[in-house]
Structure 1
Amino acid sequence: MKKKILISDIARDLGVSVTTVSFILNGKAKEKRISDGLTKRVLDYVKKVGYKPNELAKSLRTGKTKIIGLVIEDISNPFFANIARLIEAKAYSKGYRILYCSTDNQPEKTVELIELFRDRHVDGYIITPSEGVRDTIDSLLNSHLPLVLFDRYIPGLNANYVISDNVKGAYDATAHLAQRGYKRIALVTLYSSQTQMRDRMNGYMRAIDTYQLQPYVKKVNMEDDEQAAIQGMRAFLKDQQPDAIFFATNYLAITGLKALKQRDLLMPAVVSYDDHTLFKLFTPTITAVSQPIEAIADQLINTLLNQLDGHGKETKQVVLPSELIVRESSLGQTSTKEN
């Protein structure tokens, strides 16, 4: 087996001290007044022999792992996947690496994964908190660990967070349907006390009050499998006969569209909170409230990097506007038959 090359081997082969090699590899040649010629000779030799620094030893020496823990609800969801990709690119450009995990919105799993990252001594955390993790987040804050929440926040905790304006996004979606002349506008949401779901409900109810309409609300259990959710939605559609539906998440919208495809009736108007790649492919194309993914990612990583650099002492709580993207599904009714 090939012997691992150590920094002491490089120093011996080049006839310089280990300290000199260490300064050069850590980008401190100028600071320590090491000549450009010697710096080049060391770096060329390092490249030639394929030396790789011991990251564990380096982290013990510097107190930094250069790793950020990204704890999100579901990496397969395009909203979270796109934000993760943008965060990773920006973090990489600043010398950090990202470790991902999905919580599936389960409190026990969320706590376990955060504690795992804590045991690995990641430098900072970006988290979409599930319900029931307040104490764990509070512990991170009390330990003065760099942290940013996103998509939702925990009321009463003085934590950094980045969210979209869920109230206005939901209001605009519901108002759009009312302005198109729909009278029986239903909301399909989750049984959840999380802030983003609460705010979307509030936005829907405000628009219903503004346009003096009757609310129709269907709540879905997060624990339900897809078939149970479809059956529940079909029963709701049959009982309430809405002429328009606002889905509070894109995955609820996809489940709802499957339920609607099984009805041999006119399809109601549809709007989803959060866009999805499938919505442009569906017939009719689906109107959606689109969150500003690039702006969210920028605010998240910049807020965290400021903390990691020793800046950002004040709590930063950012609310960004969403955009209603109007497509065919909310402009009129169309017939859909079973496949």
Structure 2
Amino acid sequence: MATMKDVAARAGVSVSTVSFVLNGISKQHKVADTTAKRVLRAAKELGYHINNPLELSPDSSVRPKVIGIFFPQENNAIDLGIITENIYQYTTLQNLACNIMIIPYQLEQLNVVIKNIDWKTVDAAIIVISQLKESLKLDEFSDELPLVFYNYSDPRYNSVSCSSTEASKLLCDIIHTKEYKDIAVIRSESSPRICDSYFTQFLELCEQSGIPVSTKNYISVENSFYGGAIAARKLLNFSSRPSLILSANTVLAQGAIPVFARNKFFIPYNTELASFGLDQDLSYLQNHIPSLTMVVIPSMEMFKIATDLAFELIDNPEKKPVHRICQCKLIINESLSI
């Protein structure tokens, strides 16, 4: 099944441009007619189902709601194509008519984007916050704005977040019990991912629990497979190789593992590894060699809840704001034994 990402790639445009065209609001966003035609042609060639509210007859009693997704451009952890397809599938199962409009924003520029959006084109919006400590000036906005926050909590608005406390404590207990002699940390130095904030909390919990993680064993690299490979090479040059590696996210872990293997330093035999990751990673990382032990952040479950909250907000804007909390899980796989 073709996704918005596939259409964007074929048409040579961004996912947000595809969203504007397929939702019938390309004029408002100054998308050129030639570009719009190219997007529609690509969608038709790929067999993408266009469920555009403009295609409905004027007397139709059911108009698909437009859900805007404010998405941080710097966050490349979550595949927007996967998000949109999961929301479409979920709303179809719930018999809800829905179109999605992607609204990209840069970190620290969210307030400006919210101010400039034409709210006549969006029935409700899900605002994705990648960093737990993101500073938002929400007092500048009216309580009546149809906002649902993802990975963030504010008493004035509907929101969904998750707690990694129990899963992190369980992983800490395992580390403490196994008494690893040398623990290394691979973390990102740029392009923050949702995982990274929870990983930082976990490292703070390790320190509070008396788990010895020397700052000399902290390696900060770019958030990519290449960054993970660089981290692995640096660890291989350590005078004392680690008995446990903690990775901020699965991309870094996957970049590091093949480099270790090529140098006859195998996981989990020579060193063990645990990572933070998203539930969308599970389908393939459980079949990874070795399969990865992860504190799993329920990102897709959170998006489903955020979608429900958005529709509840559309149907009953006067309803008292709701905040939902999902729980992370620790999934033990081959990269760490117990």
Q: TM-score under structure 1 normalisation?
A: 0.62
Aligned match for 1:328, one of 305, 320, 334: 334
- Asked if 1:299 corresponds to 2:299, the answer is no
The answer to whether the 8 A contact 1:160-1:317 is kept is yes
Residue of structure 2 in register with 1:23 after alignment: none
By how many angstroms is 1:307 displaced? 1.1
Aligned position for 2:124? 124
Retained in 1: the 8 A contact 2:77–2:194? no
User: CA separation of 1:117/1:85 partners in 2, compared to 1, >3 Å: closer, same or farther?
Assistant: farther
| Structure 1 residues 44-85: Cα deviation after superposition (integer angstroms, max 9, x where no partner) | xxxxxxxx98569969xx9x8721012345898567665543
Q: Deviations over 1:218-243 (max 9, x none)?
A: 33345xx6535532442145336321
1:31 is matched with none
Give structure 1 stretches of 5+ with no counterpart.
1-51, 333-339
Q: Hey, what's the Cα distance between the residues in 2 that align with 1:256 and 1:272?
A: 12
SS in 2 for 1:85: helix
Aligned to 1:257: 257
- Alignment-derived partner of residue 246 in structure 2: 246
- Could you tell me how far 1:308 is from its partner in structure 2? 0.9
| 8 Å contact kept, 1:70–1:100 | yes
Amino acid corresponding to residue 219 of structure 1 in structure 2? S
Q: 1:132-143 alignment to 2 at 5 Å?
A: 141-142=141-142
Which runs of 5 or more residues in structure 2 are unaligned?
Answer: 1-51
Q: 2:274 maps to which residue? A: 271
Q: Counterpart amino acid of 2:335?
A: S
Q: What's the offset of the Cα at 1:330?
A: 0.2
Q: 1:170, 1:273 within 8 Å by CA — same for their partners in 2?
A: no
Note if contact 1:70-1:127 (Cα within 8 Å) is conserved in structure 2.
Answer: yes
Which residue number in structure 1 is paired with residue 164 of structure 2?
166
Contact kept, 8 Å, 2:189 with 2:220, in 1: the verdict is yes
2:170 partner letter: D
Task: Give the distance between the partners of 2:337 and 2:326, measured in 1 at CA.
Answer: 27
Please tell me the root mean square deviation across aligned C-alpha atoms, in Å: 4.2
CA contact (8 A) 2:69 2:125 kept: yes
Distance 1:292 1:169 in 2: 12
Distance 1:130 1:286, change over 3 A: closer
Richer in helix (by share): 1
What does residue range 310-329 of structure 1 map to in structure 2 within 5 Å? 310-311=316-317, 313-329=319-335
The aligned counterpart of 1:96 is 98
SS of the residue corresponding to residue 335 of structure 2 reads helix
Quote how far apart the aligned CAs of 1:211 are: 4.8
Partner of 1:220: 221
- TM-aligned CA deviation for residue 194 of structure 1: 8.0
CA distance in structure 1 between the partners assigned to 2:134 and 2:207 by the alignment: 33
Match of 2:39 in 1: none
Taking every aligned residue pair, what percent have the same amino acid on both sides? 18
**Shift in alpha-carbon separation, 1:186–1:173, aligned structure 2, 3 A:** farther
C-alpha spacing 1:302/1:206, structure 2 compared with 1 (3 Å):
same
Q: Are 2:208 and 1:202 aligned?
A: no
- How many aligned residue pairs are there? 272
Cα distance change of structure 1 residues 153 and 265 upon mapping to structure 2, 3 Å threshold: same
- Structure-2 separation of matches of 1:220 and 1:53: 45
CA gap 1:81/1:171 in 2 versus in 1, 3 angstroms: farther
Give the Cα separation in 1 of the matches to 2:53 and 2:211.
67
Partners of 2:276 and 2:318 in 1: CA distance:
31
SS class of match (2:237): helix
Distance 1:53 1:153, change over 3 A: closer
1:194 to 1:330, Cα distance in 2 relative to 1, 3 A: closer
One-letter amino acid of the counterpart of residue 126, structure 1: I
Stretch deviating more after TM superposition (163-172 or 298-307): 163-172
Q: Which structure would you say has the larger Rg?
A: 1
**Quick check: 2:124–2:147 contact (8 Å CA) kept in 1?**
yes
The 2-side partners of 1:210 and 1:171 are apart by 9
